Amino acid sequence: MALTNVRKRFCSLSREVIHTGRVRQMANYTQHGTTTTLDHTVAVAFRALTLARGLRLHVDEHALVRGGILHDFYLYDWHDPKQALDRWHGFTHPGHALRNAEQDFPDLTPIERDVISRHMFPFHPLPPRTREGWLVCIADKICTVQEFVQAHQRHKA
């Protein structure tokens, strides 16, 4: 499937979640380098969808995209010790993201819960249980590396 078709499908699937509850507040927080958390989660969800399509995997695309966008829905600046909920952000933020997602999206599916709560494997000991969870876990690592490299290149320039 052409990238243009994937983009159209992604826009269709992501529109509702991006404009619901507090999701847009993620634009107020920096993730890696200069990337906002909202930009990061959208990139991860899009990358996960392109991986699924490219590998021709049968997945719940709605749950994949919604879970991907909500995987870092923790709503605080983890760089600021006054805002961070604890000093173990890398290990605990999936739980914070899941609690926020449950508040704003009470209809979360088991697949979406898996995507959100287990995306930090192997840094968190429990691996994803679903294809969607694995795709977001992998896409998250790819996007994170890209964001760090881009930030480093900007810093060097």
Flag whether pLDDT at 1 surpasses 60: no
Burial environment of residue 13 by CB neighbours within 10 A (0 to 12, 13 to 18, 19 or more) = buried
Q: Decide if 32 contacts 148 (C-beta within 8 A).
A: yes
Q: What is the mean pLDDT of the chain?
A: 90
| pTM passes above 0.75 | yes
| The pLDDT of residue 33 | 76
Going by pLDDT thresholds of 50, 70 and 90, the confidence category of residue 84 is low
Q: Please write the tens of the pLDDT for every residue from 86-109.
A: 767 667 799 999 999 999 999 999
